[in-house]
Chains A and B, each alone.
Chain A
Amino acid sequence: MSQSDSDDEIPPAVLPLDGWHRAKGARMVPFAGYMMPVQYAPGILAEHRHCREAAALFDVSHMGQLLVSGGAAAAALEALTPSDLATLGEGRLRYSLLLNETGGIIDDLMISHRRDGLYLVVNGATKIDDIAHLREQLPDEITLNHMDDHALLALQGPKAAAVLERLAAGVGRLGFMTAGAFELLGSAAWISRSGYTGEDGFEISLPATHAEALAEALCAEPEVAPAGLGARDSLRLEAGLPLYGHDIDAETTPVEAGLSFAIAKRRRQEGGFPGAERIAFELAEGPARRRVGLRVEGRQPVREGALLLDVEGAEIGHVTSGGFSPTLGRPIAMGYAPGPLAMPDSHVSLSARGKIFTAEVAAMPFVPHRYVRQGDPS
């Protein structure tokens, strides 16, 4: 047997919960510059199903947590993203994109309006470059604080709200994509109702010194089990959510990537963000290629790097993520296909591992989202 895992060259850094993961039986692998739990003893399939059925705890402390503050922080960030931040009310968050001059995606991120500024969560693998980009682009009067003394935990699944309500009364009042400050086990915590699994759930930012006590308390609840990066990846794939560096990157635009919802109406009219011209053109005329979901025939997973072929066998696109869907019990994938083929039910051929596969373009998400739009009013 051979495994083709690649090793990072720079020794990976250690996250606040490193010892806790190891004590829980995690298999640790290098990811985004950190040693991260890829799975625990039950395995990826069991962790995936547990998240869909109950509640799973993910440590995503590798992600970058940034606070942008100062008078015109919203306007300054609008110059770098296609979001409408002027109307983002306190306690609300939005999915956003850092764009380059050609409309390519530098990173995808969440932006929350907090009393102390705009709170950003960016990808772990890109955070150093994001910080450099923001420092260079933001005016001097804007302060950028890298909250590297904070951990980030995600509690995801249909039982997440009931569990977290026991520890932080009132979180159930949050609706999807809203957030607030809470006291959690004697520590200040910023909790948003959001996530990366397609399930209802929460993301919890708190001082790293309090992360282990929270992880322990959450996993002491009968509904909760820890889940690793493996399940996080299969869950987000089923949910149709792109992974930066794979499904989206500096060469893909928001329109190509099917992320036009992140381009606010006012910004479409006014422009004034990097790549606005190209993005306006693609919104009007349609992009040359689009990110699509693929339902692969048979049982064998087709993974990143596989090629999309036309009927003559010429390369017309590629697979950017792929794997086995535990919920659907079949292989699914995402990739880019030329405009005319990027329609649900179009048939395409894929080439991977020296074989030809057939696949059908599928609407995403593959598994319906179950976000709770309106919090419990009680």
Chain B
Amino acid sequence: MTLFFTRDHEWVRVDGELATVGITDYAQGQLGDVVFVELPTIGDSVTAGKEAAVVESVKAASDVYAPLSGEIAKVNQALVDEPGLVNSAPEAAGWFFQLKLNDPRELDGLMDAAAYQAFVATL
């Protein structure tokens, strides 16, 4: 299993052709208290860089982009009832959805943990 990151502050954990997606600890810190999450529908096709979910904090609504293209295989229903999981466990129980990847070569465009940390340090 390998962890990747996007410049839009999503993380991606890849296991074979499945990729689990969430938002990073940095992102949840910037958003503040999350009060609502809208998840995609299982079976939806999503395109890398396009909106796939919505996260709303007390302050503002934000889109969560699909880091990779694929088909939604699973969604984290727990976030609907407990959106605060995005704050308390952003890179674990606060995951958003799981994708069946169309093209694993898209992973080449993502950052590893060290590159993401370096990127966040510039913000």
Please list the residues of chain A having a beta carbon within 8 angstroms of any beta carbon in chain B: 1-5, 38-39, 43-45, 230, 234, 299-301, 303, 323-324, 326, 331, 353
Contacts and interface: CB of A to CB of B under 8 A. Distances in A.
Nearest to B6: A1
B33 A45 contact: yes
Nearest to B28: A1
Contact of B27 (A1, A43, A299): A1
Contacts, number: 61
A300 B58 contact: no
5 contacts: A1-B10, A1-B23, A4-B61, A38-B59, A331-B36
B30 interface: yes
B25 interface: no
A299 B30 contact: no
Given A1-B27, A3-B30, A230 B59 contact: yes
* Size class of the B contact interface (CB-based, 8 Å): 20 to 34
Interface stretch (B12-20, B62-70, B97-105, B111-119): B62-70
B8 interface: yes
A301 B62 contact: no
A324 B32 contact: no
A3 B55 contact: no
B44 to A, nearest CB: 16
Contacts of B78: none
B116 to A, nearest CB: 13
A38 B27 CA distance: 17
Contacts of B59: 38, 44, 230
B71 interface: no
A61 B27 CA distance: 30
Contacts of B38: 300
A2 B32 contact: no
B54 interface: yes
A230 B61 contact: no
Contacts of A326: 58
A230 B59 CA distance: 7
B74 interface: no
Given A44-B33, A300-B36, A300-B38, A5 B58 contact: no
Contacts of A3: 30-31, 60, 62
A2 B8 contact: yes
Given A43-B32, A301-B35, A4 B8 contact: no
A1 B32 contact: no
Nearest to A303: B61
Given A1-B8, A1-B27, A353 B60 contact: no
Contacts of A44: 32-33, 58-59
B84 to A, nearest CB: 8
Contacts of B65: 1-2
A207 B107 CA distance: 58
